[in-house]
Structure 1
């Protein structure tokens, strides 16, 4: 297995980033758009809202497994062909979701939906690494996060709007239509970023060895873990937000959509600030800024969970800080992890994406085992995740200090 030296460039077109953001936005749209429908689905299935929310970790499972397949596959056959397969699977699985008549049939359909939809995020990360260097890729990831940040802002509102006129299956009809739009855009506008001469001739044994080699690389492992557990904080919030805001604080579907969109707007805002600070602070320094913001947010939420009758605005501030900090941690952790991956960028992207959604699955499992209030459970899991993130950033700082000596 021979790897040639890649020569990434320093520029990119805004339209190219918007296309990659559209592909990546399938994830947040599929996760967030049906959140306002959870109480309605729980009523139809005859179960609690929290049990219906278990279909979220199921989606994370599909995302984690699917990326492990698409990553090395895209390193072997290129970036575009896997997009065709994944998007077609996503469209079909979204339609299957409309026929679900129980918690378990929905879980099965959601896993298939995730197996298809995760192709976008793998290919987007790999395509950026194919073309750009470290600083430019950090800027590109920040730009992409700004654009894709629109998805979680509008997704709950779109879901709530659909529910005004139709029942919950219509949400998945809408998602299948978005998948079709992505497929059309890929066919006409996505240009292959991995030429034939740079592709890796991988078999299954080599793929497993490559996964091991990538994970052992400290310059990849520490920023990868920092980014994954930072994202895990978001998944804790997604899994718990409906129970906290709708069940505990009594927000209706549209009010929940506004609150959810505010936090997504925070990610966009901080991603924009992160991008503007690119010439003032290093990638690692900006990663640390995001980590501090997330830590502050988690501490506010933990404090709120220990008190009785805490005002909603305090909880919303804690959520905003914990979630919007991802605008700093996400792009910079991604850029640092992918910086030295070259032609194996697809496989490295798959490892990082799979681990990130494995954190989402872990968050869902942990939330189900904790026995306190929904707010306390969320805050405790977030605290564990932010602790692992801070440890990973500290180890990364040590590594980079040694490299400079």
Structure 2
């Protein structure tokens, strides 16, 4: 048996994973620190209305969605680093523009420019260039955990920072974080010698149309779109509800978010373990959507005291964080072999579109119907999502693996057909120009070492 699966990540792999995770963290902090404070502090800006506050909250999503896939494709052509530098510079410029603005329109323009620095696809591709096959899942997990933690940190740091330095200080800090990201990519992330064509993390244009036609993936894309619409919609109303209905000064909101996030992170872990170990993802997934819908109705009907809003916020974040963790895992399970990178690209675009939609929708409802109706609108979004999610099948419990192929194996005529008869192999796809095969594998039925022997077992040896 091969023992390289148990090898540790090399120092350059660890440096690349931790450095790029920090780049993600700084950018996420800069993007989301605004979320809990814009509805409250933003009303002091010239020309501010609830509808325009909603637009400012969601505006980054429009440009992020628009540039996400093109920036990924460009990074394959001209290299990852130039695209990452450009994206971080755009983000910093947008932050400075928003910081210098005294009007709501200036902040909206700054948020639009922040979103134009859509670097996630290039960062993930750069990470793939550095990490060996057997460590890529681990490296991606480091990034995933960092994104989750930085979102949680942003919800607490945003109100604390704005309390001290106002919105101007908040946006300048976000710009500073983007510049720190540039320094990390320049000086900490090692230089890569080659750009790896890797279909698990890069976008492949030929795979785009099949992914856009894939019914199960479309349901998940719709799901992340609605989830982020509900998040943005809720944060048009929740900070204001804490002030107007619960009488909590905006300087003290940080402890509500800190309490809610810490409790929710502990509560969701057993659910994630149960969904994977017992193979009950669909049950947990649907329960979380129902919980999200019910908590929005709870906010609408009972969100008029501090303790109901705090309890509601804890339950909201538990359901939100659970769905935020389950959805990418489902995309990775459902996407065809060799198309995961493309599927994640479309999924990320859907997420940013949802952010834009939710901000605009929340602001518009708040202006025309009042705060509590925003929660009703969010509950309606969750009900709409539930109607689609109910028809979802239980996903295959598989992981994606890319293996190099020997010249003999590439030439073998019926390799894919042979492998797909093996118990545990759900899907296989050969890419001759990469001299590699992409496989969806159920690790309970087949381990990686046996799979490697099966893949590169030549027809001659088998006949002998």
Category of TM-score, reference length = shorter chain: 0.7 to 0.9
1:356 aligns with 2:351: yes
User: Residues 60-139 of structure 1: matches in 2 within 5 Å?
Assistant: 60-116=61-117, 118-119=118-119, 121-123=120-122, 137=137
Corresponding residue number in structure 2 for 1:320 = 314
Cα distance change, pair 189–390 in 1 and its aligned pair in 2 (3 A): farther
Normalising by structure 1, we get a TM-score of 0.78
Corresponding residue number in structure 2 for 1:3 = none
Normalising by structure 2, we get a TM-score of 0.69
Larger Rg over CA atoms: 2
Corresponding residue number in structure 1 for 2:148 = 149
> Within 2, Cα distance between the matches of 1:287 and 1:125?
28
Corresponding residue number in structure 1 for 2:252 = 255
Q: In the TM superposition, what whole-angstrom CA distance separates every residue of 1:94-113 from its partner, at most 9, and x where no partner exists?
A: 11222213211221121011
1:329 aligns with 2:330: no
1:242 aligns with 2:239: yes
User: Residues 162-173 of structure 1: matches in 2 within 5 Å?
Assistant: 162-173=161-172
Q: What RMSD over aligned residues (CA atoms) do the two structures have, in Å?
A: 3.9
> Within 2, Cα distance between the matches of 1:115 and 1:136?
27
**Alignment size in residue pairs:** 384
Corresponding residue number in structure 1 for 2:213 = 216
> Within 2, Cα distance between the matches of 1:79 and 1:273?
37
> Within 1, Cα distance between the matches of 2:262 and 2:282?
19
> Within 1, Cα distance between the matches of 2:101 and 2:24?
25
Q: Of the candidates 284, 290, 297, which is equivalent to residue 302 of structure 1?
A: 297
Deviation, 1:353, is 1.1
Runs of 5+ in structure 2 lacking a partner? 398-424, 427-464
Cα distance change, pair 195–231 in 1 and its aligned pair in 2 (3 A): farther
Cα distance change, pair 166–53 in 1 and its aligned pair in 2 (3 A): same
> Within 1, Cα distance between the matches of 2:44 and 2:116?
27
> Within 1, Cα distance between the matches of 2:134 and 2:391?
20
Corresponding residue number in structure 1 for 2:370 = 373
Q: In the TM superposition, what whole-angstrom CA distance separates every residue of 1:131-185 from its partner, at most 9, and x where no partner exists?
A: 6989984x76665444333333433443344344434211111111111111121
Contact in 1 for aligned 2:241/2:371 (Cα 8 Å):
yes
> Within 1, Cα distance between the matches of 2:248 and 2:342?
42
Corresponding residue number in structure 1 for 2:23 = 23
Cα distance change, pair 294–336 in 1 and its aligned pair in 2 (3 A): closer
Contact in 1 for aligned 2:60/2:114 (Cα 8 Å):
yes
> Within 1, Cα distance between the matches of 2:235 and 2:121?
21
More helix by share: 1
Contact in 2 for aligned 1:157/1:254 (Cα 8 Å):
no
Contact in 2 for aligned 1:229/1:388 (Cα 8 Å):
yes
Corresponding residue number in structure 2 for 1:6 = none
Q: Of the candidates 302, 305, 308, which is equivalent to residue 311 of structure 1?
A: 305
Runs of 5+ in structure 1 lacking a partner? 1-8, 201-205
Contact in 1 for aligned 2:36/2:155 (Cα 8 Å):
yes
Corresponding residue number in structure 1 for 2:404 = none
Corresponding residue number in structure 2 for 1:186 = 185
Q: In the TM superposition, what whole-angstrom CA distance separates every residue of 1:109-130 from its partner, at most 9, and x where no partner exists?
A: 21011111x31x3345556778
Contact in 1 for aligned 2:159/2:250 (Cα 8 Å):
yes
Deviation, 1:319, is 3.1
Structure number with greater CO (CA < 8 Å, separation at least 6) is 1
* More divergent stretch after superposition (57-66 vs 11-20): 11-20
Corresponding residue number in structure 1 for 2:175 = 176
More strand by share: 2
Cα distance change, pair 294–267 in 1 and its aligned pair in 2 (3 A): farther
> Within 1, Cα distance between the matches of 2:82 and 2:198?
13
